[in-house]
Structure 1
Amino acid sequence: MEDIAEVADTLSHDDLLEITKSSLVNLLRTDSLLSDLPSDIILEEIISLIAVEHGQSISIYIARDDEPPLKVIVPQNATVRELKKAIARHFEIYQQRTGSKVKISWKYIWRTYNLSFDSFTLDDNDSCIGNYGISNKDTLSYKKKRKKTQNIVCKLFI
């Protein structure tokens, strides 16, 4: 133990960070239970995964056109509004991992699209997702909102 302390005193902070990161990457890669975790996992994701394992949260997949599905973890009693916030947060983490700098206007997304599940549209933000029959490992998709047509009455004056 004293040898480790002596070596640690001779290394810089950056060197110690690099050694720690590489050790964690090797640990995650070699452990059969942890091998599917990303090497740059954050504490928020770890807490979410533990909640799924304890049955407190569920994993939902969001299907996207020409893109891999996005895995989102939400509490079992989450509302549609909380689900939308979780999608935005998970997509932000996904963008950080891929190095994408594209700015997403979630206000525009939710104004233009609804989430749908088994031909049900999740259009009530205050409704619980369980009311729509959504359970663990279900897949949701985006569905374009229909424009509201206005009835225009034309009167002809002769």
Structure 2
Amino acid sequence: MESFENIAVTMTHDELLEETRSSLCTLMSCDSLLSDLPLDVITEEILLLTAAERGQSITIFISRENEPKLKVIVPQAAKVAELKKSIARHFEIFQQRTGSKVKISWKYIWKTYNLDFDGIILDDDNSSIDSYGVCNKVTLNFKKKRKKNKSI
């Protein structure tokens, strides 16, 4: 125990943080259950993944045109509005990890695009996603809204 105290006393705070990060990275990469987690995982992600493993939440993949799919975890009984908020939050985390500083206007996104599941548009924010047939490990697509013709 004394050697640990000596190490803690002789190291600076930054050195101790770096040693801790390094040890956690090594542990996470060697563990089969933790190896698929990002090294900078946050508590919110761990709670969502735990809920998905317990069957309390479902995983939905969001397909964007020329971009990699986005993995979103939502409660099973989530409404479309909650799904949209989860997509925004997961995309924010994705941007932080990639270092992107592009500001996304989600108001514009939802005004311009719909979520599409097998040709069905999720257009009612107050409906639950399971009423559209959305279940675990399905892929939703962004589909551009069609402009409505204004007749005189």
TM-score, structure 2 normalization = 0.97
Moved over 2 A (4+): none
Task: Supply the distance in 2 between the matched residues of 1:6 and 1:47 (Cα, whole angstroms).
Answer: 35
2:29 aligns with 29
Q: Which residue number corresponds to residue 109 of structure 2?
A: 109
Counterpart CA distance in 1 for 2:2 and 2:130 is: 55
Matched, 1:88 2:88: yes
Aligned-pair CA distance for 1:32: 1.3
Q: Which moved more, 1:143-152 or 1:74-83?
A: 143-152
Percent identity reads 65
In the alignment, which residue of structure 2 is the partner of 1:73?
A: 73
CA apart distance, 1:2: 2.3
Query: Any stretches of 5+ residues in structure 1 without a counterpart?
Result: 153-158
Equivalence for 1:18: 18
For 1:2 and 1:73, locate their aligned partners in 2 and report how far apart those are by CA, in whole Å. Answer: 45
Question: Match for residue 8 of structure 2?
Answer: 8
CA–CA distance in 1 between the matches of 2:127 and 2:53? Answer: 25
SS of alignment partner, residue 59 of structure 1: strand
For the pair shown, which has the larger CA radius of gyration, 1 or 2?
1
Cα deviation, residue 150, structure 1: 1.7
1:133 is matched by which residue type in structure 2? G
The RMSD of aligned alpha carbons is: 0.8
Equivalent position SS for 2:5: helix
Taking the aligned partners of 2:143 and 2:7, their CA distance within structure 1 comes to 58
Quote the offset at 1:12 in angstroms: 1.2
1:147 aligned onto 2:152:
no
The alignment's TM-score, normalised by the length of structure 1, stands at 0.94
User: 1:73 deviation in Å?
Assistant: 0.5
